Structure 1
Amino acid sequence: MTAQTNSKGIKTVVVNRSARHEYELLDRYEAGIELKGTEIKSVRKGKVQLKDAWISIRNGQAVIKDMHISPYEFGNRFNHEEVRDRRLLLHKNEILKLDQAVRIKGFTLVPVSMYISHGLAKIEIAVARGKNLHDKRETSKKRDAEREIRKALKGSW
């Protein structure tokens, strides 16, 4: 997916489409992300993959795991590791809320999208509940029905 800029100056870098398919997304949060020098350059070029990424909370810190950021092509020996744990920047009360949701209610934390806002990389994360196969089929049927309705309405004009 190519990066898109909206009217507020927010450039969407990548969207995790499989998260919407696999999970029912409930609460959403915006988090900053701690990146190294060449990582932000790769992010700005859109060389990020969130498909297998997930979020863990350990010792009062939120960490994103298995997020892939390709090496920067001009980074030479100062390049970063492609897959490493990266700390998320959230308020302490948000981290506590997320930790309770994961521990007590059995939800999971998934990254939904990554974007650049005012020069800073941000990740939208969601508290999510896993879908069953039946739920996935139902969502697919509903989406197909809505598409057919839009198609019929578009043709009637």
Structure 2
Amino acid sequence: MRTAVLFFAVFLFLFSCSTDDDICAGGEGTPRMKIKFKTYTTGKPKTMDSLFVSVDYGNGVVPVIERRTATDSVFVPLRVDDHGFTDLYISTSQQGIKSQIRVKYNDKTEYVSPACGIRKLYENVSSEIITVGPVPGIENAQNEIINENKTHLFLLF
């Protein structure tokens, strides 16, 4: 009888563990906004030689991206505190003039797993330029952010 109970306990222990719940590494977390660049006059894709992105997450503006090498896209995390918008500050040099872009959205939560917890998804996404600087125009590409596969916003330079 003891052997059967011990065997049953070991059996439950081995099969109750799941590798899916051990770590959250499969992209199940809150998606970031994917931003690409276009030329303002022609609308053709553009590669930026340098790009500086700062974001106001509610406790002041913090630098998020400081790229001094050529890039055609960046990923920017949005606020997760149910505020309804995130302000982005875009510049082509560290001390240069900044464009302020407000990204508005409705957010919702989705349960992922015990290891990952919940994640935020963004619906009804729209953007507007608050302060024109190096970015004279924008194009909204997607009205929802549920993953990082598609481009969500184009900045026109």
**Which TM class, normalised by the smaller chain length?**
under 0.3
Higher strand residue share: 2
TM (norm. structure 2) is: 0.24
Higher helix residue share: 1
Whose RCO is larger (CA < 8 A, sep 6+)?
1
